[in-house]
């Protein structure tokens, strides 16, 4: 029988989390024979740290598991490799630190795609913290990709699109060559560029409220310094991808507008950060992150390019 779905996973130096994810996938509900769904995993760690885990699960997974020792620490290249190996009509991307705990999650994503004639379906990503994580980080929503009050079928814009926990028709991925721009493989933003491409071609991108997974937040990430660094990088990436929409004089004019707006928002965020500083650590961090994001945007216009991955 033809493969209907390829569950695609990039993994980088997280073998224990990868093993937990592969274990979770054995318990998901699937409508049809197991041989119509496959798992494809690419290890993009040059040290190939996932070799043992992948070999073990190849022997006991209910779904066929294809493992590829890719060994290049470029997330775009690794995702492109996944697409080249995928045989399903639909591709579902998961990160190696994400975990579906609802056994109906996979069916919900697939049903939403068919019910709404969608090309891409996005599910929520909810943080899973260690017990010692401070409440002012845990409760502030820094790691939560779950917009409130978004019903299944709601159109999704580029700013809400994310690759982890997304279901994409293989034909959409094959319509771009390569699907993910390798120039963004160390900085991030490759998924934003891809989804922007789909939106300009009027592909249908929707939300699935029932398709949530959790994502493990390590103690190293649950810190103010990590969050500020992430905001800085996201600001750079946002400015970089926004400018792709225009060329020549129009791009220069848009760049000047974005630069001026970032400077203004930086001033506002800094003022609010100082105002909240004596009263709330959570609100102070919120506005500090806004400052870092605006600084990231501004730095892009001076040639800044922060490599977060690899």
Using one digit for the tens of pLDDT, what is the confidence trace for 141-157?
888 887 777 899 999 98
The pLDDT tens digits of the residues spanning 242-269 come to 887 667 788 889 889 999 999 999 999 9
Q: According to DSSP H, which parts of the chain are helical?
A: 15-25, 51-60, 75-85, 105-115, 135-138, 170-174, 190-200, 224-242, 248-276, 281-300
Residue 201 φ/ψ region, left for φ over 0, alpha for ψ in the -120 to 50 degree band, beta for the rest: alpha
Instruction: Give residue 100's pLDDT band: very low, low, confident or very high (50, 70, 90).
Output: very high
The pLDDT tens digits of the residues spanning 197-221 come to 999 999 999 999 999 999 999 999 9
Prediction pTM value = 0.92
Is residue 117 over pLDDT 80?
yes
Sign of CA dihedral 73, 190, 77, 120: positive
Is residue 115 over pLDDT 90?
yes
Residue ranges per domain, the chain? Answer: 5-217, 224-300
Is residue 304 over pLDDT 80?
no
Tokens of 135: 């409440």
Average pLDDT rounded to a whole number, residues 81-85: 97
Domain covering 5-217 in this structure, CATH number = 3.90.550.10
Whether the bond between 288 and the residue before it is cis, its omega within 30 degrees of 0, is no
Please give the pLDDT value at position 139.
83
Q: What are phi and psi of 43, to 5 degrees?
A: -90, 105
> What 3-state DSSP class applies to 6?
strand
Closest CA to 44 of 17, 77, 15, 66: 77
Query: What is the percent of the chain with per-residue pLDDT over 70, rounded to a whole number?
Result: 98
């Amino acid at each position: 029988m033809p493969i209907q779905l390829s569950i695609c996973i990039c993994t980088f130096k997280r073998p224990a989390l990868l093993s937990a994810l592969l274990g979770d996938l054995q318990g998901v509900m699937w409508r049809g024979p197991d041989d119509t769904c496959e798992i494809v995993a690419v290890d993009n760690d040059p040290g190939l740290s996932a070799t043992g885990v992948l070999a073990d699960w190849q022997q006991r997974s209910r779904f066929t598991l294809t493992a590829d020792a890719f060994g290049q620490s470029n997330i775009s290249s690794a995702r492109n490799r996944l697409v080249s190996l995928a045989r399903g009509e639909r591709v579902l991307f998961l990160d190696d630190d994400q975990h579906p705990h609802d056994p109906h999650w996979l069916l919900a994503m697939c049903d939403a795609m068919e019910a709404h004639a969608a090309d891409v379906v996005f599910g929520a990503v909810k943080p899973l913290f260690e017990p010692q994580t401070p409440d002012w980080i845990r409760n502030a929503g820094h790691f939560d990709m779950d917009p409130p009050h978004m019903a299944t079928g709601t159109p999704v814009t580029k700013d809400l699109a994310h690759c982890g926990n997304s279901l994409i028709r293989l034909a959409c991925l094959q319509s771009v060559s390569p699907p993910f721009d390798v120039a963004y493989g160390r900085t991030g933003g490759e998924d934003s560029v891809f989804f922007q491409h789909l939106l300009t071609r009027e592909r249908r991108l929707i939300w699935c409220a029932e398709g949530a997974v959790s994502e493990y937040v390590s103690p190293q990430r649950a810190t103010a310094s990590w969050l500020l660094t992430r905001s800085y990088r996201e600001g750079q990436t946002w400015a970089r991808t926004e400018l792709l929409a225009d060329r020549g004089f129009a791009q220069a004019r848009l760049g000047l507008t974005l630069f001026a707006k970032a400077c203004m928002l930086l001033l506002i965020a800094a003022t609010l950060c100082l105002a909240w500083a004596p009263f709330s650590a959570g609100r102070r961090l919120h506005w500090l992150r806004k400052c870092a994001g605006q600084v990231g945007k501004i730095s892009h216009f001076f040639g800044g390019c922060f490599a977060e991955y690899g």
